[in-house]
Structure 1
């Protein structure tokens, strides 16, 4: 995922936490902050040490980024997203993470309907 698609600075994370809406399920919390005039969405990831060691955390972040890449055309482009992974994610494979993240994004009404 390109650097311009990521939120890195603490100030930007805090802005999304304070002003954004949150949506959650058992595995993920997603914060969404609309940003008018932004060309593409940006995501910030928070995977705590409670999830596991560095290998597990990095694998989890790769999986989350891949799900967002697959949903790129269906997502609201004028928004920032912060995804917080919860403990059950450490035992999940890619398909389960994808399904769970899709669910919470649908709850957040972030995913647009596919055009047939």
Structure 2
């Protein structure tokens, strides 16, 4: 039996921004971003983002701990080899049952493996500021 290495952690902002240009799969509790990382063919990395819109620091940290545990358990089995995976927390994610989150992550990873991402987000024309 071969053991897959534990997934690494994304720490640089540039890697998060690069992942944002990849495949996007939205679920009720989170949004999964997946993009080839250009590293070793079997290397996997993950990152977690939870904005202040979700709640105070206690709520955000709890959500990040849940996502971290979820990713460490599921990525070695179901993750995309040679890809970066980023989970963006959504408002309803903190109340969701852990087994429900696990099933949603598995479904999102299988969609990403098939290349079936969600359509790109439309920009809000009323929003001011430069396009990135």
Fold equivalence (TM over 0.5): yes
RMSD value, Cα: 2.0
CA contact (8 A) 2:80 2:109 kept: no
Aligned counterparts of 1:90 and 1:51: Cα–Cα separation in 2: 9
CA contact (8 A) 1:28 1:104 kept: no
Match of 1:92 among 86, 89, 96: 96
Return 5+ residue gaps in structure 1 as ranges.
Answer: 111-116
Return 5+ residue gaps in structure 2 as ranges.
Answer: 1-6, 115-132
SS of equivalent residue, structure 1 residue 51: coil
SS of equivalent residue, structure 2 residue 33: strand
Q: Once the 2 structures are TM-superposed, how far is the Cα of residue 37 of structure 1 from its aligned partner? A: 4.3
Q: Which residue of 2 aligns with 1:114?
A: none
Q: Which residue of 2 aligns with 1:11?
A: 14
Q: For the structure 1 residues 74 and 100, does the alpha-carbon distance in structure 2 shift closer, same or farther, using more than 3 Å as the test? A: closer
Determine which structure has the larger helix proportion and give its number: 1
1:70 partnered with 2:73 = yes
Q: Which residue of 2 aligns with 1:22?
A: 24
CA contact (8 A) 1:44 1:83 kept: yes
CA contact (8 A) 2:29 2:94 kept: no
Aligned counterparts of 1:97 and 1:42: Cα–Cα separation in 2: 19
CA contact (8 A) 1:64 1:98 kept: no
